[in-house]
Structures are given as C-alpha cells and as structure tokens.
Chains A and B, each alone.
Chain A
Amino acid sequence: MSTAHSTSLAHQFDSLEQQKESANLGMWLFLAQEILFFGGLFAAYMLYRWREPEAFAAGSHELDITLGLINTVILIASSLTMALGVHAAQTNKTRALVRWMVATGGLGLAFLVIKYFEYSAKFEHHLVPGPSFFFEPPIGGRAEMFFSLYFAMTGMHALHMIVGIGVLAWLLPRAARGMYNAEYHNPIECFGLYWHFVDIVWIFLFPMLYLIGRHYHAVGG
C-alpha cells in the first residue's frame, strides 16, 4: 500500500493498480457498446450489398481510391503516434507525450480535411442521396443506397474523429502541465483506446467502401 497516499488515487480505490484496471474496464465496456453501435450500420451494409452487389460495386468505383488509401495511412500513423504518446506517459516523458499528442491531433485533422474534399467532390458529382442524386444507367438510382451508407458510415466515423480531437484538445494542456506520468495516466490511456477503436472502424470501412468490385473495371459497370 505504498501508493495509498498518492494524490492521483481516488478514495474509492484500494490502489493505483485497481484504479487503472477499473478505468480500462469501463472504457472497454463503452467500446463494446460502440462496436454494436457501428454494428447496426455494418449490418445494413451487409444486407443491402447482398441485395444489390452490382450497384455497390459501381458505387464503389466512384470513390477516390487514392484519397481513401492516403487517409488509411494517415489514420494508422495516428494510431502509432497515439501508442507512442501512451508510451511517453508511461516512461515519464512529458515533452514527448505532448509532441505525440499534437502529432495525433494533426494527423486526425489531416484525415478530416481530406474527407472534406472527398465529400465536396461527391456533392459536385450529384452522388449525394436526395433529389439531385444522379447515377449513370443502367445502375441509376439503385446506387443511391450505397451512397446513403457511405455517408452514414463515414459521417459517423468522422463525427467520432471530431469528438476525439475535441477530447485531445482538452487533454493537451493538462499533459503539458505534467499531470500525466508513469504513476497516473489513465485519461491518456483511455483516450488512446478510443482513438485506436476509431482507427479499427476505418480499417473495415476502407475495403468495404472503396475496394469492392475493383476488378470488374475491365468489364465496366
């Protein structure tokens, strides 16, 4: 019980170890709920793609694979910088922690900027579901569901990124003040879990939205 008098220890916990375990467990329970939250969208995707495989392949061709790939690399890189940030906190390196957090936030913003340009292009090309939606025959309006799901899934993902960047902005000044160290860094660790979860969602969204039926290109859609 050498840590019992630590200022980082809330009074309801016996030890820092128990406190950390509780925080992690709570965060994972939240993430288990998040898996099911996105799961509803994934189930809808599965169902409608089963119904209209050609329309989904044709819709997928309209997405910019290069921008999607760049964003995948950016997001995985941001997961790396986040993991290195947690590592910096665990090893008492405050300045490195701040640096990695800034890098993580910067990469997150870069992702959103690229997403903004992708969305703008979809508006210009009449690929946003609604009255102005237009898709070349013979697929035509059948492609609308693909784009509905594209916007719902990437939009919900982007919203999670925005929330993540907001939380990061809240953590950053605290990290700079040296509030997180080897003894206590639960907020950094829990935020890292959230950030990695959002990365995992994108790991599935990228192939499901951008890469389906690419090999049909020779035969045309």
Chain B
Amino acid sequence: MSHHVVPVKTYLAVFACLMVFTVITVAVAFVDLGPLNNIVMLGIAITKAILVVLFFMHVKYSTRMIPLVAASGFFFLLILFGLTMQDYLTRGWLGAGSPWGH
C-alpha cells in the first residue's frame, strides 16, 4: 500500500459532522445545565478534534508510529494541566495562605 486515498465522500461526511457539532455547541451554551455546560462544551470540542485528527489528518489510515506521537503530545499536555492545577488547587490546604498573595 503506497498511500491510502480517503474518499471525498468521507471528507464531506466529516465536514457535515463538524458543522452539526458546531451548531450544537452554540445552542447548548445558551441553556443552563449547571456544571454540565463545561463538560458538554469540552466533550464536543474533543470529539471535533478527534474527527479532524482521524480523517482530515489521516491518522486513522497511518502506521502505528503516528498515533503514538500524536497521543504523546496530548499525554504531556495532561501532565502540564494536572501538575499546574494540583499545585494551585491545593495551596490553601495547609493554611499556607492564598496562592494569589491576598
């Protein structure tokens, strides 16, 4: 297999999905779902990103090395978020005062 040519129909279907998700995410933003708003918004954004990565960026059709490198980027992103927040969210726990200096 020299390279997989993704059919145009697949690209159009992915584009249609991305448009539908965009409309849903705007509509949901105007409905009060409490903390669920953020979860739905983030869930839709992640779903859209996965669609782009798998189909537009051909990761679904690539060799295993590519998904590994792509996933490693997101893995280190989670370490960045996780370690940053575990610091700031827990600074007040031992009575060390506010992390913001006031």
Binding site for B on A (CB under 8 A): 16-17, 20-21, 24-25, 28-29, 31-36, 39-40, 42-43, 46-47, 50-51, 65, 69, 72-73, 76-77, 79-80, 82-84, 87, 90-91, 189, 192-193, 196-197, 199-200, 203-204, 206-208, 211-212, 214-217
Contacts and interface: CB of A to CB of B under 8 A. Distances in A.
B3 to A, nearest CB: 6
Nearest to B33: A215
Contacts of B90: none
Contact of B76 (A21, A36, A79, A80): A36
A193 B57 contact: yes
A36 B80 contact: yes
A3 B31 CA distance: 58
29 contacts: A20-B3, A24-B66, A25-B69, A29-B69, A31-B70, A31-B73, A32-B70, A35-B74, A39-B76, A43-B84, A47-B85, A47-B88, A73-B22, A83-B11, A87-B11, A90-B3, A90-B5, A192-B57, A193-B57, A197-B57, A199-B56, A200-B48, A200-B52, A203-B45, A203-B48, A203-B49, A204-B49, A207-B44, A215-B33
Interface string B29-66: 11111000110011011001100110111100011011
A33 B73 CA distance: 7
> Looking at chain B, what size class is its interface with the partner chain?
35 or more
B35 to A, nearest CB: 11
A156 to B, nearest CB: 16
Nearest to B18: A76
A47 B84 contact: yes
A211 B26 contact: yes
Interface of B: 2-3, 5-6, 8, 11-12, 14-15, 18-19, 22, 25-26, 29-33, 37-38, 41-42, 44-45, 48-49, 52-53, 55-58, 62-63, 65-66, 69-70, 72-74, 76-77, 80-81, 84-85, 88-89, 100
